[in-house]
Amino acid sequence: MSVELNHTIIHSRDNRASAEFLADILGLRVGDEWGPFVPVETANGVTLDFATGDPDKIVPQHYAFLISEDEFDVGFEKIKQAGVRYFADPYMKRPNEINHNDGGRGVYFLDPSGHAMELITVPYGGGGREVGNS
């Protein structure tokens, strides 16, 4: 049997706001609410189930999304238009910059619940391999 990640739960201050924020940047659709979850499904079939939780108990996590160069242009423009602070590094010491790791482009930003989101066009260690343009 092959192993695939099917879904993960992302605790958030407001499940709908967080799902809509990320879906908008990534150009994805927010699914129908199911119980306490607002789902966003990625192209490889992984569902991000946003669940509202106690803000004091939310532990910030990191989520990286491999996207095409065209998708990066669109997503990065949405980040800038929304006035979301962005960084070239995970430590957030290089504000208002993107990176060019592994010959691609990458950017870090926080979602409404403080999770570190990352957009990359080439996987780390990818040796210049890009995801196909859509």
Polymer length of the chain: 134
Please tell me what DSSP assigns to residue 104.
Answer: S
The domains found in the chain, sorted by start residue, are 7-120 (3.10.180.10)
Closest by CA position to 117, among listed 103, 125, 107: 107
Q: Global pTM?
A: 0.91
Angle at 112 between CA 32 and CA 39, to 5 degrees: 20
Q: DSSP letters of 117-131?
A: EEEESS-TT-TT--P
Spell out the per-residue pLDDT of the chain, length 134, in tens: 799 999 999 999 999 999 999 999 999 999 999 999 999 999 999 999 999 999 999 999 999 999 999 999 999 999 999 999 999 999 999 999 999 999 999 999 999 999 999 999 999 987 655 555 44
Strands laid side by side in the 116-120 sheet: 62-66, 116-120, 106-110, 86-87
